Structures are given as structure tokens and as C-alpha cells.
């Protein structure tokens, strides 16, 4: 899973912050009238706003996650309000609470792992059918056989595994664990802000249920926070789609344009191009070409000196150094150029791909793999007094890039310098 720690942290951070805020708010005592009124309407407000947002952008999975959480909130809120108003629980409180403790993690896990793979309308009907079927069976059993259902739910089936700390029915714990493992595997296979939000949201629900009748407004606050996590994850992914390049993982052209509007007066821009990329692509195929772009992007992402790399388009990348001078940036760009030039890419025949990792390591270390390398050319420009906009500086960097190409490629050239004085080259420059 080639993802950096920073990327994973960015996936989890919004949801963790919402969870911590919910926990802090739940433990606050003596709330004033404003917050009391707010918490009473907050879950419904979040569902209406967040659900509408998901519906407009056709995010069915997220919509049904919110609906599932809200149904649990509605059922338990009715019981909690009765308890606060009368000082005792309703006659059906135990069976309703136990049903929610069992079905909430079950449906949350099912809808969280259920990806949209069919026609949107058919997918919505299928999800609604599952929700309706489970709800109808639970309601029918609760109405027809309340005592028998309560005994079945509350039964301790595995006494050796039951602890005094368990405040929920025993059946709910393996369901929560199974849902958590399922969502963990889902995130591991496909790291996304949504999958991270689902994991943190499930933890929030697990904490919430035992506190429903203990801490005031715990139910309102945590259900709202879980739904907010899901809505925030949708917004986060929408931002990534607009501002981050899917192939390389780098910020894209739109993110570069936005960053260039906030550079200040002193900065350096560099334009980078993969040498002979079209020829390489035609020779080895587009899959290998994509591998090359990802490799170059991964190296550029690690540029030192305070630089930030962006995917400009095609095989071109841009690097931004804010608050830096040309002399400060040139050595860092030269290091990246050299790292990429010295990196060997091993090409293997997909039809003879080894069946296990050991064979793969042996083959990569042997002669079965074809080793190729790529180089990049870099043009650099520093903002001058007569350049009013970053676009003019970027144009100068682009012109320097063309000069680097003309100087033999695999070199770094600054704007206004000649190949003899300004280019930094290797002896084996790509032809």
C-alpha cells in the first residue's frame, strides 16, 4: 500500500477531531438553553443537510449510512426522552435498546462496505429493500414475541468470554468486531477519507450506546458527529477529485493555480518534463508509462528545500518554492534530477509473473527483468521585479525547460542562463 503516513493522517484527522469534539461535548454539564435546544435539533438538521448533499451528488452509500444512524437515534431518543421525563424506562425499552445494539453495527457495516456498482436507481432500491426487510422483521418480532425476543437477545451464549465491563448484550460485541475488521480491511485495500470516516464513526457508535441513558445528549451529539464525519468525508473526496491528480497522487493543475495566487513577492518556480516520454511510452506501453509518471512524482514529492511538487499535465510537473531564492533552490532540484536519473526500473513480462513473493524477489535480482531508466529536464525561474504575476514566472521557467531540452536533456537550467554556464548535466545525458 504505497501511501505515506501524512496521507493516512489526512484521511483520519477530520473524523478524529469530530469524534473528540463529540466526546468533549457529551461530558459537559449544566448546558445553557441555547445548547440544549441546539442538541435537540442537531441530528435532524445534519441529516437534512448532509443527506441532501449526498443525494445531490448521488452518494448512495453515504446517504444510507446517515439514514441508518438517524433511525437508531430516533428509536433510542424516544426511549431516552421518556426516561428523562418520567424517571423510568418504557416497557419496551430493553428490547428496543438491545435490537439497536445488534442491528446498528450490522447495518452500518453492510452499508459501509456496499459499494455502488449497479445502476443508481437499482442500487437505491436494493439498499432500501435491505433496510426495510431488516426493520420489518425486527418490528414484527418485537410486536409479536417481545419477551421471547428479549430473552434471546439478552442470553449470554459464551460465559467464558463475558466480562463484567460489558454493558451491551453479548451478541453486539462480535457484530461490532466483525464490522470493524471488515471496514479496516476495506481501508487497507483502498485508503480513502470515506473509509476512514466509517471506521471512526463505528468507534463513536460503540462508545455511544452504553452511555445513552447515562450522559445527557450523548445520543444527539454522537449521532450528529458520526453523520458529520460521513458528510465531511464526501466533501474531502470531492476536494481531492478537483485538486489532486489521481494517477500520481500529487496536487493537480487547479491546486497549482490556487497556490500561485498566494505566493507573495519572493518565490521560485520550476517546470519539469520527463525526457523522451512519448518514445518510452510507445516502446514499453502505457502501463509502464504510468509507472514512470508515478515514480517521477514520488521522487518530486520528496524534494527538499521547502519545495512542493504539482502535476502540471501529461509528463510535466511543476515545483513551487515559496520565499526562496534561485541559488537556494538549484541544489535541491539537482539532487532530485540525479536521484531519478540513477533509479533503475525493472520491467517484467506480465504473462510470466511469479506466483509468490519469493519467486518475484529472485526474478527481480536475476537476469529475467529488463532494467530501464528515465531522466528529467528542469527549467527554473525566480520572480523578478518586472514580473507582475506568477504566470509570467511560470512562463520563464517553461522557456528555461525548453532550453534544458535543447542543451541535451537531463539537466537543470535557470531562466536567462546558457547551456555552458547555467546547465547542470551528467555525462550520460539521455539522447
Per-residue pLDDT reduced to its tens digit, 290-339? 888 998 999 999 999 999 999 998 899 999 999 999 999 999 999 999 99
Nearest to 135 by CA among 102, 169, 86: 102
Per-residue pLDDT at 348: 58
Q: Which residues contact 379 (CB under 8 A, 6 or more apart)?
A: 270, 271, 272, 397, 398, 399, 400, 401, 402, 403, 404, 413, 414, 415
Nearest to 257 by CA among 275, 243, 238, 277: 243
E-state strands within 82-204? none
pLDDT tens per residue, range 163-193: 777 889 999 999 999 999 999 999 999 999 9
Whether the pLDDT of residue 202 is over 60: the answer is yes
| Least confident window among 67-71, 263-267, 269-273, 398-402 | 263-267
C-beta of residue 22 within 8 angstroms of C-beta of residue 203? no
Task: Give the integer Cα–Cα distance in Å for 176 and 100.
Answer: 12
Q: What is the mean pLDDT of residues 352-379?
A: 63
How many CB atoms sit inside 10 A of residue 72's CB?
Answer: 25
Q: What is the mean pLDDT of residues 228-246?
A: 87
| Least confident window among 4-13, 317-326, 380-389 | 4-13
The band of 31, judged by pLDDT with boundaries at 50, 70 and 90, is confident
**Adjacent-strand bridge partners of 378:** 272, 412
Residues constituting the chain: 431
Per-residue pLDDT at 262: 85
Q: Phi, psi (5° rounding) for residue 327?
A: -65, -35
Task: Give the integer Cα–Cα distance in Å for 157 and 170.
Answer: 8
Task: Give the integer Cα–Cα distance in Å for 183 and 74.
Answer: 25
Cell numbers of 385, please? 521585479
Q: How many CA atoms lie within 13 A of 212 on its CB side?
A: 27
- Exposure class string for 109-136: b at 16+ Cβ within 10 A, else e: bbbbebeeeeeeeebbeebeeebeeeee
Q: Which helix (H) or strand (E) holds 271?
A: strand 267-274
Per-residue pLDDT at 356: 52
**Adjacent-strand bridge partners of 376:** 274
Task: Give the integer Cα–Cα distance in Å for 247 and 198.
Answer: 25
Give percent above pLDDT 90 in the chain. 52
Q: Phi, psi (5° rounding) for residue 380?
A: -125, 140
| Least confident window among 44-53, 108-117, 284-293, 352-361 | 352-361
Per-residue pLDDT at 296: 92
Nearest to 59 by CA among 198, 180, 189: 198
φ/ψ bin of 323: left (φ > 0), alpha (ψ from -120 to 50), beta (otherwise): left
Per-residue pLDDT at 369: 54
In the residue annotation, 315 being an active-site residue is answered as yes
**Is 317 in a helix, a strand, or coil?**
strand
Per-residue pLDDT at 362: 52
Task: Give the integer Cα–Cα distance in Å for 189 and 184.
Answer: 9
The band of 424, judged by pLDDT with boundaries at 50, 70 and 90, is very low
Whether the pLDDT of residue 90 is over 50: the answer is yes
The band of 427, judged by pLDDT with boundaries at 50, 70 and 90, is very low
Task: Give the integer Cα–Cα distance in Å for 319 and 336.
Answer: 11
Per-residue pLDDT at 400: 94
Q: Which helix (H) or strand (E) holds 346?
A: strand 345-347
Burial environment of residue 293 by CB neighbours within 10 A (0 to 12, 13 to 18, 19 or more): buried
Q: How many CA atoms lie within 13 A of 108 on its CB side?
A: 35
Task: Give the integer Cα–Cα distance in Å for 370 and 147.
Answer: 71
Per-residue pLDDT at 425: 39
Of the listed 315, 328, 338, 392, which one is catalytic? 315
E-state strands within 286-340? 307-313, 316-322
Task: Give the integer Cα–Cα distance in Å for 320 and 24.
Answer: 40
Amino acid at each position: 500500500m504505497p501511501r505515506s503516513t501524512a496521507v493516512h493522517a489526512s484521511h483520519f484527522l477530520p473524523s478524529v477531531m469530530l469524534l473528540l469534539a463529540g466526546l468533549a461535548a457529551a461530558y459537559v454539564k449544566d448546558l445553557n438553553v441555547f445548547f440544549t435546544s441546539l442538541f435537540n435539533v442537531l441530528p435532524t438538521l445534519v441529516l437534512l443537510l448532509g443527506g441532501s448533499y449526498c443525494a445531490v451528488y448521488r452518494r448512495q452509500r453515504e446517504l444510507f449510512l446517515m439514514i441508518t444512524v438517524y433511525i437508531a437515534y430516533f428509536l433510542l431518543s424516544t426511549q431516552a426522552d421518556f426516561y428523562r421525563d418520567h424517571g423510568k424506562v418504557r416497557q419496551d425499552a430493553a428490547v428496543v435498546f438491545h435490537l439497536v445494539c445488534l442491528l446498528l453495527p450490522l447495518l452500518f457495516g453492510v452499508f459501509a462496505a456496499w459499494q455502488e456498482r449497479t445502476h443508481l436507481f437499482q442500487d437505491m432500491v436494493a439498499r432500501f429493500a435491505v433496510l426495510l426487510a431488516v426493520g420489518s422483521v425486527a418490528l414484527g418480532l418485537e410486536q409479536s414475541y417481545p419477551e421471547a425476543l428479549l430473552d434471546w437477545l439478552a442470553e449470554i451464549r459464551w460465559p467464558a468470554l463475558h466480562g463484567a465491563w460489558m454493558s451491551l448484550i453479548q451478541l453486539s460485541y462480535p457484530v461490532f468486531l466483525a464490522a470493524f475488521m471488515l471496514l479496516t480491511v476495506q481501508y487497507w485495500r483502498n485508503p480513502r477519507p470515506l473509509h476512514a470516516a466509517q471506521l471512526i464513526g463505528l468507534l463513536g457508535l460503540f462508545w455511544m450506546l452504553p452511555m445513552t441513558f447515562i450522559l445527557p445528549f450523548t445520543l444527539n451529539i454522537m449521532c450528529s458527529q458520526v453523520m458529520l464525519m460521513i458528510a465531511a468525508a464526501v466533501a474531502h473526496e470531492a476536494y481531492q477529485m478537483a485538486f489532486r491528480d489521481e494517477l500520481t497522487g500529487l496536487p493537480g493543475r487547479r491546486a497549482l493555480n490556487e497556490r500561485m495566487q498566494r505566493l507573495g513577492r519572493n518565490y521560485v518556480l520550476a517546470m519539469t518534463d520527463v525526457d523522451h516520454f512519448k518514445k518510452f511510452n510507445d516502446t514499453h506501453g502505457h502501463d509502464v508509462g504510468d509507472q514512470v509518471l508515478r515514480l517521477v512524482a514520488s521522487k518530486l514529492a520528496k524534494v527538499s528545500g521547502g519545495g512542493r511538487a504539482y502535476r502540471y499535465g501529461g509528463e510535466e510537473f511543476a515545483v513551487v518554492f515559496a520565499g526562496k531564492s534561485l541559488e537556494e533552490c538549484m541544489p535541491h532540484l539537482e539532487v532530485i534530477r540525479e536521484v531519478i536519473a540513477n533509479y533503475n526500473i525493472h520491467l517484467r513480462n506480465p504473462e510470466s509473473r511469479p506466483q509468490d513473493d519469493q519467486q518475484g524477489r529472485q526474478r527481480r535480482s536475476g537476469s529475467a527483468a529488463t532494467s530501464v531508466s528515465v531522466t528529467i529536464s528542469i527549467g527554473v525561474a525566480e520572480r523578478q521585479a518586472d514580473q507582475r504575476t506568477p504566470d509570467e514566472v511560470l512562463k520563464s521557467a517553461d522557456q528555461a525547460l525548453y532550453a534544458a531540452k535543447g542543451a541535451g536533456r537531463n539537466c537543470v537550467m535557470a531562466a536567462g542562463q546558457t547551456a555552458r554556464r547555467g546547465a547542470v548535466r551528467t555525462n550520460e545525458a539521455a539522447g
